[in-house]
């Protein structure tokens, strides 16, 4: 698959780069960013953390605001940051910030006019990792993390692909689209009115369906700011914690007084998330 490098900057001994490629899954050109730590060589391939950003974001927000490169370089971990939706003049959009471009919700749309391009679940879970592993000095050890809508994506993709991801984390995630306005709007447009079809994109519902021994499933780490304006109406992390406790799933939920929904929050705790994933990626 052909790629074009758009940017490259040295950072903490590694390289922060941006690429564009033709996505067969999304039927459009897509951009992604990748940080390669100094340890990454053809002789020494490194594991990868996939970071999924939230509403209105692109691949660049985390690169510029999270400050993750220093710890990634120290740990010897690559970070891959896809865009949040399909892009291009022929990709359908909406005037609202929470639908269309910048708001792909990491699902496979089934409804027109969205279905042609909005297949972000398959892109993140399968097409992009295959591209990364074929073209960069990385191995097949993967973890996944994200923020807000991206936290929703990390949780649902990680839970549904447990053998493919060693660990899952999220900042301020949308844990249950079935129980919040953002989720109802997006899933109605992308998937239709039948809420039975929404369940596979709802982390709480996925958690409830888990049976048997959970000790070998990817552990989950969630951090939530208590000054987050979206906490009560949209995020509701207690729903995920309750569901996880019912099935004895390995989960850690941390709350932080005074922190909001912004990248100031993410930058404050990103090192802890990278260290969490490193413990499982380097097992």
Question: How far is Cα 35 from Cα 183, in angstroms, rounded to an integer?
Answer: 31
213 tagged catalytic: no
Q: List, for the chain, all residue ranges whose pLDDT scores fall below the cut of 50.
A: none
Question: How far is Cα 252 from Cα 260, in angstroms, rounded to an integer?
Answer: 19
**Domains in the chain: how many in total?**
1
Each as own residue / partner, the long-range contacts of residues 259-262 (CB below 8 Å, 24 or more positions apart, any chain) are: 259/225, 259/226, 259/227, 259/228, 260/225, 260/227, 260/228, 260/229, 261/148, 261/172, 261/225, 261/228, 261/229, 261/230
Question: Which range marks the domain in which residue 245 is found?
Answer: 3-282
Candidates 11, 148, 169, 172; catalytic one: 148
Question: How far is Cα 256 from Cα 136, in angstroms, rounded to an integer?
Answer: 36
Question: How far is Cα 86 from Cα 111, in angstroms, rounded to an integer?
Answer: 15
Spatial CA neighbour of 54 closest among 188, 145, 189, 166: 145
pTM (global) more than 0.85: yes
Q: What is the pLDDT of residue 2?
A: 83
194 tagged catalytic: no
Candidates 117, 147, 189, 261; catalytic one: 261
Q: What is the pLDDT of residue 227?
A: 98
Candidates 59, 169, 228, 277; catalytic one: 228
228 tagged catalytic: yes
CATH number of the domain at 31, please.
3.40.50.1820
pLDDT tens across 196-241, in order? 999 999 999 999 999 999 989 999 999 999 999 999 999 999 999 9
Question: How far is Cα 236 from Cα 254, in angstroms, rounded to an integer?
Answer: 13
Q: What is the pLDDT of residue 1?
A: 62
């Amino acid at each position: 698959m052909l790629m074009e490098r758009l940017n490259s900057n040295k950072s903490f001994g590694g390289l922060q780069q941006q690429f564009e490629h033709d996505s067969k899954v999304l039927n459009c050109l897509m951009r992604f960013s990748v940080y390669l730590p100094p340890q990454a060589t053809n002789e020494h391939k490194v594991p990868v953390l996939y970071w999924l950003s939230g509403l209105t974001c692109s691949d660049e927000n985390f690169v510029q605001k999270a400050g993750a490169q220093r710890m990634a370089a120290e740990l010897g971990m690559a970070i891959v940051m896809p865009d949040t939706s399909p892009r291009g003049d022929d990709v359908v959009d909406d005037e609202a910030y929470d639908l269309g471009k910048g708001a792909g919700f990491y699902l496979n749309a089934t409804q027109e006019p969205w279905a042609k391009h909005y297949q972000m679940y398959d892109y993140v879970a399968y097409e992009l990792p295959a591209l990364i592993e074929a073209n960069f000095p990385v191995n097949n050890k993967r973890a996944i993390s994200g923020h807000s809508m991206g936290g929703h994506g990390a949780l649902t993709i990680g839970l549904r692909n447990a053998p493919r991801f060693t660990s899952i984390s999220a900042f301020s995630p949308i844990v249950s689209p079935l129980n919040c306005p953002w989720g109802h709007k997006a899933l109605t447009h992308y998937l239709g009115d039948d809420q039975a079809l929404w369940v596979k994109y709802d982390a709480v519902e996925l958690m409830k369906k888990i049976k048997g021994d959970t000790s070998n499933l990817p552990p989950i780490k969630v951090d939530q700011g208590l000054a987050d304006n979206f906490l009560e109406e949209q995020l509701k992390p207690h729903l995920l914690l309750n569901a996880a406790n019912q099935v004895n799933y390995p989960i850690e939920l941390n709350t932080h007084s005074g922190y909001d929904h912004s990248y100031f929050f993410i930058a404050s705790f990103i090192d802890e998330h990278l260290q969490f994933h490193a413990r499982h990626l380097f097992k």
